[in-house]
């Protein structure tokens, strides 16, 4: 099977993300990359836990003072839903339905952008209301680094998916770009999984003190 070949619904392979050698390599390589990313975030989580509530003086805000459930819950719902919509997109990709795939990816991007907007609002809120900044304490540095790294991943993922959507909008699916869409959606799921841990470790555990 060639990467440039034209396909129809009938000839489209069952696993287009692994149909060519290049695709197989990309698929496996990306899983390995996510393995490395897991260690990266694990290290950031460890750093955060070591520095949580480590502040220079008694006036500085602690985790239990600043985090609120409604905001974190809304962000979590947005990101979890965006993971679901990206699953639908991949379902349509496997069924060679380019239009519907693009539609669901568009929805994923929208939800991801809303999440990012909420995060920017949240950071802004902490800075102005609690004077909890990147430079105010070790706790602040660790918090903004962990959550900010995740936010950076979300922003990169958005740029990536939008690039793929625009680049391929005119030509539809083939075995050259199908693995690219698939790998981007894997990345998106990974970001989502990391957020589940951030929600638990930073926000839920933060509020119980």
Partner 1 sequence: MSTYAQKKGFGATLWDFLTTVDHKKIAILYLIAGGFFFILGGLEALFIRIQLAVPNNDFVSAGFYNEILTMHGTTMIFLAAMPLVFAFMNAVMPLQIGARDVAFPFLNSLGFWLFFFGGVFLNLSWFLGGAPDAGWTSYASLSLASETHGIDFYALGLQISGAGTLIGGINFLVTIVNMRAPGMTYMRMPMFTWATFVTSALILFAFPPLTVGLFLLIFDRMFGANFFDVSMGGNTVIWEHLFWIFGHPEVYILILPAFGIFSEIFAIFSRKRLFGYSSMVFATVLIGFLGFMVWAHHMFTTGLGPIANAIFAVATMAIAVPTGIKIFNWLFTMWGGSIKFTTPMLWAVAFIPSFVAGGVTGVMLASAAADYQYHDSYFVVAHFHYVIVGGVVFALFAGAHLYWPKMFGTMLNETLGKITFWLFLIGFHLTFFIQHFLGLMGMPRRIFTFLPGQGLETGNLISSIGAIFMAVAVIVLLINVIMTSVKNEKVGNDPWGDGRTLEWAIASPPPFYNFKQLPLVRGLDAYWLEKMEGKKGMTPAEPLGDIHMPNNSFIPFVISFGLFIAAFGAMYRADYAWGLPVLILGMAVTLGSMFVRSIKDDHGFHIHKEDLMEDDNDKGVKA
Q: CB-wise, 43 or 95, nearer to partner 1?
A: 43
Q: Which of residues 18-77 bind partner 1 (CB under 8 A)?
A: 21, 24-25, 28-29, 32-33, 35-37, 39-40, 43-44, 47, 50-51, 54-56
Determine if 87 is a binding residue for partner 1 (CB under 8 A): no
Q: CB-wise, 24 or 189, nearer to partner 1?
A: 24
Q: Which of residues 123-152 bind partner 1 (CB under 8 A)?
A: 134-135, 137-142, 145
Longest Cα–Cα distance in the chain: 68
Cβ at position 124, least distance to partner 1 in Å: 18
Q: CB-wise, 33 or 199, nearer to partner 1?
A: 33
Distance CA 78, CA 73 (A): 9
Cβ at position 141, least distance to partner 1 in Å: 4
Instruction: Read off the tokens for 92.
Output: 């349509």
Return the residue of 11, 95, 124, 163 that touches partner 1, per CB under 8 A: 163
Spatial CA neighbour of 100 closest among 113, 110, 109, 91: 91
**The residue to which tokens 């519907």 are assigned:** 100
How many binding residues for partner 1 (CB under 8 A)?
Answer: 36
DSSP 137: -
Cβ at position 116, least distance to partner 1 in Å: 17
Instruction: Read off the tokens for 143.
Output: 């918090």
Distance CA 142, CA 45 (A): 9
What are the residues whose beta carbons fall under 8 Å from the beta carbon of 53, sequence distance 6 or more? 62, 63, 139
Cβ at position 139, least distance to partner 1 in Å: 6
Measured at the alpha carbon of residue 105, what is the angle toward residues 103 and 111, in degrees to the nearest 5? 105
State the number of CA atoms in the 13 A half-sphere of 49 facing the CB.
11
Sites of contact with partner 1 (CB under 8 A) = 3-4, 21, 24-25, 28-29, 32-33, 35-37, 39-40, 43-44, 47, 50-51, 54-56, 134-135, 137-142, 145, 160, 163-164, 167, 176
């Amino acid at each position: 099977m060639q990467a440039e070949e034209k396909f129809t619904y009938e000839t489209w392979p069952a696993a287009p993300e692994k149909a060519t050698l290049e695709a197989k390599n990309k698929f496996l390589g990306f899983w390995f990359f996510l393995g490395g990313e897991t260690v990266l975030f694990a290290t950031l989580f460890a750093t955060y836990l070591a520095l949580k509530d480590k502040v220079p003086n008694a006036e500085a805000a602690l985790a239990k003072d600043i985090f609120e459930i409604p905001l974190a819950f809304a962000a979590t719902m947005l990101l979890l839903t965006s993971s679901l919509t990206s699953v639908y997109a991949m379902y349509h990709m496997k069924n060679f339905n380019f239009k519907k795939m693009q539609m669901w990816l568009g929805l994923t991007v929208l939800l991801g952008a809303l999440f990012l907007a909420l995060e920017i609002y949240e950071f802004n809120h902490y800075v102005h209301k609690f004077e909890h900044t990147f430079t105010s304490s070790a706790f602040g540095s660790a918090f903004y680094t962990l959550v900010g790294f995740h936010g950076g991943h979300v922003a990169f993922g958005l740029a990536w998916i939008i690039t793929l959507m625009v680049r391929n909008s005119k030509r539809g699916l083939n075995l050259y770009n199908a693995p690219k869409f698939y790998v981007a959606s894997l990345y998106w799921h990974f970001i989502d999984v990391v957020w589940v841990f951030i929600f638990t470790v930073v926000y839920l555990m933060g509020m119980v003190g």
